[in-house]
């Protein structure tokens, strides 16, 4: 799945609810999901870790949708290697 497909999927599935919820509540949900991911990394199963990674990614895509930002465009800053030093591998 590419990032554009993911954003479209999130818009179809959660777009209306996201818009009604608003940005601060979406940031709060994202933070909650990051907490669940942190716990899964520490003591979860591989399946729980995968689920929580997906949930954080889903909330990140929903947030990008609300901001009207294309994740693919945004992540292009990493396409040429480290955005700070330009290195692949990073030599910062």
**Chain contacts with its own copies (rule: CB under 8 A):** 1-3, 6, 9-10, 12-17, 23-24, 27, 30-31, 34, 37-38, 41-42, 46, 49-51, 53-54, 56-58, 60, 63-64, 67, 69, 71-79, 81-82, 87-90
Q: How far apart are CA 38 and CA 60, in angstroms?
A: 16
CB of 55 to its own copies, least distance (A): 9
Q: Which of 71, 80, 76 minimizes the C-alpha distance to 10?
A: 71
CA distance 62 to 52: 15
Residue 35 CB, shortest distance to its own copies, in Å, is 9
Find the shortest distance in angstroms from Cβ 14 to its own copies: 6
Q: How far apart are CA 26 and CA 82, in angstroms?
A: 29
């Amino acid at each position: 799945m590419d990032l554009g497909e993911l954003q479209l999927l999130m818009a179809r599935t959660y777009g209306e609810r996201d818009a009604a919820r608003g940005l601060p509540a979406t940031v709060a949900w994202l933070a909650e999901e990051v907490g669940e991911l942190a716990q899964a990394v520490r003591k979860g199963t591989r399946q729980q870790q995968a689920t929580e990674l997906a949930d954080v990614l889903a909330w990140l895509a929903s947030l990008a949708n609300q901001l009207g930002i294309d994740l693919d465009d945004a992540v292009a800053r990493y396409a040429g290697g480290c955005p700070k030093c330009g290195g692949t591998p990073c030599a910062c």
